[in-house]
């Protein structure tokens, strides 16, 4: 594996893609820390210090951790990328579900150039969602203490001194521009970098919180240990070992697939013989990926937010506690919704009858199963059993961080790396990047990351766009270096 990393710099195209990706990542992280106009950055810094000192297992912190996944901390820091990539993710999910339900969009997706039109619709919907969410965010910044994410900030100072309509308009336009710029950077990463750009942005936002999680864990078990108990050190070692075990299990389940043998009949065309070979139809155990957890988390977060804004009375607090992490009702409802959304996503994205017809037209058949409708029924039955196993896996991964938070009194910033949306996204993105790097190496006759075999996954996701030119990579790194120098100088010149 070490030799594979060393060989990546011997392939000029792969080296340019890696440097281009790293330069874009620096620009993205800089935009997160660039405060919105009219927002007092000193108030945010003082509040973050106060919150870090009082961080603990808070039910609202789990929802805040989910929002941090997509904004990379830009929401808490009121940065240029305050909304992150959330509007684009929401628009993509809506368009994808509508494509599976609306016949017009479904027909358009199968036409030549239809995917480009659907992508254009997704971008337009992203701008609309960003405008709505940006306006709601400006209203939140006027009274930040009313939302749980900024709870306690009013004790530090006034976040927005000037709350005029002009400030609202400028802030909304800035937020929308930041979201559109982030979406454009994601497209550039997909075309000229490594991996899927949007997924990579989310993964970078997650990984950016890892150093803070390490510091909090170290302070929790080592620095704050006044009695110098060996048990805390053993718990810390156990947490590291458990984290490695969870990551290995998530990788194994993510890679797991049921391979269904497909035989192709022999046919003779002229003097040549085609077919007669055996291929495999891979069906993933976790076909839905992370989408069921995202859907369930978003739906469960709505009642608590709505009740918090509607009423502050006793009955409202009771319902909020019942619908918040830590309540047994929350786990029961979340597990049920994960199962429902898993089957719903598979039903909308996987069409066994269409697969059966495609196999029939190409002369393929599953041994022991008749072509046509029996093949579709067999695939549907097999996929249902795989989805059941994948749903159980997703439920365990979803509950695991909250269980650790309640049992070990760890903050949500730390426990999010033991499961949930964060770990699934990181594993999926890193595996996708490793597959693409390995494919580049194998094409140039180098060894991949594994001596025997290849990393499982789809190899049809190789970038077909132009590689970033050497001058473009140099300009990006010069721009990134200038931003770093300006940021460091501003930090030291601050009174």
61 & 8 share domain: yes
The reported pLDDT for the residue numbered 60 is: 46
Is position 267 within any domain?
Answer: yes
The reported pLDDT for the residue numbered 48 is: 66
What distance in Å separates the CA atoms of residue 299 and residue 303, rounded to the nearest whole number? 8
Is position 312 within any domain?
Answer: yes
* Residue 401 CB-half CA count within 13 A: 28
Cβ-in-10-Å burial (0-12, 13-18, 19+) of 53 comes to exposed
308 & 168 share domain: no
36 & 148 share domain: yes
Mean pLDDT of 476-482: 77
pLDDT per residue over 189-199, tens digit each?
888 888 788 88
| DSSP category for residue 150 | G
pTM: 0.75
The reported pLDDT for the residue numbered 372 is: 84
pLDDT per residue over 80-126, tens digit each?
887 878 888 888 888 877 887 788 887 887 777 788 888 888 899 99
Q: Which range, of 15-29, 164-178, 364-378, 472-486, averages the lowest pLDDT?
A: 472-486
Give the angle 252-256-259 at the CA atoms, nearest 5°. 155
Mean pLDDT of 455-468: 53
pLDDT per residue over 371-422, tens digit each?
888 888 999 999 999 999 989 988 888 888 878 877 777 777 777 778 777 7
* Residue 437 CB-half CA count within 13 A: 24
Structural domain containing residue 407: 222-418
User: Cβ(441)–Cβ(447) under 8 Å?
Assistant: yes
126 & 13 share domain: yes
The reported pLDDT for the residue numbered 494 is: 57
Query: In the listed set 418, 437, 453, which residue is the last one of a domain according to the structure?
Result: 418
Mean pLDDT, the chain, rounded, equals 76
Query: In the listed set 400, 418, 436, which residue is the last one of a domain according to the structure?
Result: 418
The reported pLDDT for the residue numbered 211 is: 78
What distance in Å separates the CA atoms of residue 341 and residue 296, rounded to the nearest whole number? 8
Strand order in the sheet with 257-264: 278-284, 257-264, 364-365
The winner for highest mean pLDDT among 381-385, 455-459, 468-472 is 381-385
Nearest 10 degrees: Cα torsion 49, 53, 56, 60: -20
189 & 249 share domain: no
477 & 401 share domain: no
Cβ-in-10-Å burial (0-12, 13-18, 19+) of 179 comes to buried
Nearest to residue 59, comparing CAs of 325, 415, 331? 325
Burial 101-133 (b: 16+ CB within 10 A, else e): eeeebeebeeeeeeeeebeebbbebbbebbbeb
286 & 411 share domain: yes
What distance in Å separates the CA atoms of residue 289 and residue 390, rounded to the nearest whole number? 9
162 & 232 share domain: no
What distance in Å separates the CA atoms of residue 314 and residue 323, rounded to the nearest whole number? 14
112 & 201 share domain: yes
Nearest to residue 358, comparing CAs of 343, 341, 379, 337? 379
194 & 244 share domain: no
The reported pLDDT for the residue numbered 13 is: 80
Query: Six-digit token pair at 269?
Result: 């065309």
Residue 162 CA from chain centroid, whole number: 35
Tokens 């937020």 identify what position? 175
Is position 213 within any domain?
Answer: no
Q: Which range, of 62-66, 178-182, 230-234, averages the lowest pLDDT?
A: 62-66
Residue with more model confidence, 38 or 146: 38
What distance in Å separates the CA atoms of residue 409 and residue 130, rounded to the nearest whole number? 36
59 & 94 share domain: yes
Query: In the listed set 381, 399, 418, which residue is the last one of a domain according to the structure?
Result: 418
Residues linked to residue 262 through DSSP beta bridges, in sequence order = 279
The reported pLDDT for the residue numbered 302 is: 67
Give the angle 298-303-309 at the CA atoms, nearest 5°. 115
What distance in Å separates the CA atoms of residue 330 and residue 321, rounded to the nearest whole number? 9
Read out DSSP for 373-398? HHHHHHHHHHHHHHHHHHHHHHHHHH
Is position 196 within any domain?
Answer: yes
Is position 214 within any domain?
Answer: no
Give the angle 449-14-190 at the CA atoms, nearest 5°. 100
Neighbours of 433 (CB within 10 A): 19
For the chain, give the percent of residues with pLDDT over 70.
73
pLDDT per residue over 315-367, tens digit each?
666 776 666 666 777 778 888 888 888 888 888 788 888 888 888 887 788 88
The reported pLDDT for the residue numbered 312 is: 60
Residue with more model confidence, 181 or 404: 181
The reported pLDDT for the residue numbered 128 is: 92
| DSSP category for residue 223 | I
Is position 290 within any domain?
Answer: yes
Query: Which residues, in sequence order, are CB contacts of 257 under 8 Å at separation 6+?
Result: 282, 283, 284, 285, 456
pLDDT per residue over 23-63, tens digit each?
888 888 888 877 888 877 777 777 666 665 554 444 444 44
* Helix 420-443 / helix 373-408 crossing angle, nearest 10 deg: 120
187 & 292 share domain: no
**Number of domains forming the structure of the chain:** 2
**Alpha helical stretches, state H, 161-273:** 165-192, 197-207, 210-218, 230-255
Q: Is the pLDDT of residue 67 over 80?
A: no
Is position 375 within any domain?
Answer: yes
Nearest to residue 193, comparing CAs of 471, 494, 478, 462? 462
For the chain, give the percent of residues with pLDDT over 90.
3
pLDDT per residue over 213-249, tens digit each?
787 777 777 766 666 667 777 888 888 888 889 888 8
User: Cβ(154)–Cβ(207) under 8 Å?
Assistant: no
Q: Give the largest Cα separation in the chain, rounded.
A: 85
Is position 478 within any domain?
Answer: yes
Q: Which range, of 48-52, 74-78, 460-464, averages the lowest pLDDT?
A: 460-464
- The CATH number given to whatever domain includes residue 53 is 1.10.3370.10
What distance in Å separates the CA atoms of residue 193 and residue 460, rounded to the nearest whole number? 16
């Amino acid at each position: 594996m070490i030799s594979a990393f060393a060989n990546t710099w011997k392939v000029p195209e792969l080296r340019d893609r890696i440097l281009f990706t790293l330069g874009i990542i620096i620009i993205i992280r800089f935009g997160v820390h660039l405060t919105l106009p009219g927002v007092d950055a000193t108030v945010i810094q003082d509040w973050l210090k106060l919150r870090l000192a009082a961080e603990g297992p808070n039910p609202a912190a789990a929802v805040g951790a989910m929002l941090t996944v997509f904004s990379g901390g830009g929401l808490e820091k009121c940065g240029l990328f305050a909304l992150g990539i959330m509007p684009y993710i929401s628009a993509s999910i809506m368009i994808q579900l509508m494509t599976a339900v609306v016949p017009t969009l479904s027909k358009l997706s199968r036409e030549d150039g239809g995917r480009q039109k659907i992508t254009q619709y997704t971008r337009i919907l992203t701008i609309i969602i960003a405008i709505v969410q940006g306006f709601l965010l400006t209203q939140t910044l006027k009274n930040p203490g009313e939302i749980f994410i900024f709870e306690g900030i009013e004790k530090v100072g006034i976040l927005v001194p000037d709350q005029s309509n002009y400030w609202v308009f400028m802030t909304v336009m800035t937020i929308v521009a930041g979201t559109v710029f982030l979406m454009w950077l994601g497209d550039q990463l997909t075309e000229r970098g490594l991996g899927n750009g949007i997924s990579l942005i989310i993964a970078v936002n997650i990984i950016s919180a890892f150093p803070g999680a390490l510091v909090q864990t170290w302070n929790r078990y080592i620095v704050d240990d006044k009695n110098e108990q060996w048990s805390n050190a053993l718990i810390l070692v156990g947490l590291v070992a458990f984290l490695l075990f969870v990551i290995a299990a998530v990788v194994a389940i993510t890679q797991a697939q049921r391979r269904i043998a497909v035989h192709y009949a022999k046919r003779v065309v002229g003097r040549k013989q085609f077919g007669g070979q055996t291929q495999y139809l891979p069906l993933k155990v976790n076909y839905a990926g992370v989408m069921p957890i995202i859907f369930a988390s978003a739906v469960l977060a709505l009642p608590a937010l709505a009740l918090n804004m509607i009423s502050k009375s006793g009955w409202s607090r009771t319902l909020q506690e019942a619908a918040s992490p830590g309540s047994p009702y929350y786990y029961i409802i979340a597990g049920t919704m994960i199962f429902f959304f898993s089957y719903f996503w598979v039903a909308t994205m996987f069409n066994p009858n269409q697969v059966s017809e495609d196999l029939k037209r190409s002369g393929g058949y599953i041994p022991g199963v008749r072509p046509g409708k029996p093949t579709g029924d067999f695939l549907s039955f097999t996929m249902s059993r795989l989805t059941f196993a994948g749903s159980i896996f997703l439920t365990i991964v979803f509950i695991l961080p909250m269980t650790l938070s309640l049992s070990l009194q760890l903050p949500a910033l730390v426990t999010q790396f033991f499961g949930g949306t964060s770990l699934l996204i990181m594993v999926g993105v890193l595996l996708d990047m490793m597959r693409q790097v390995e494919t580049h190496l194998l094409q140039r006759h180098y060894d991949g990351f594994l001596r025997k075999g290849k990393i499982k996954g789809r190899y049809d996701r190789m970038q077909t766009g132009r590689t970033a030119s050497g001058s473009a990579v140099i300009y990006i790194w010069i721009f990134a270096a200038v931003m770093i120098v300006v940021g460091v100088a501003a930090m030291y010149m601050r009174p």
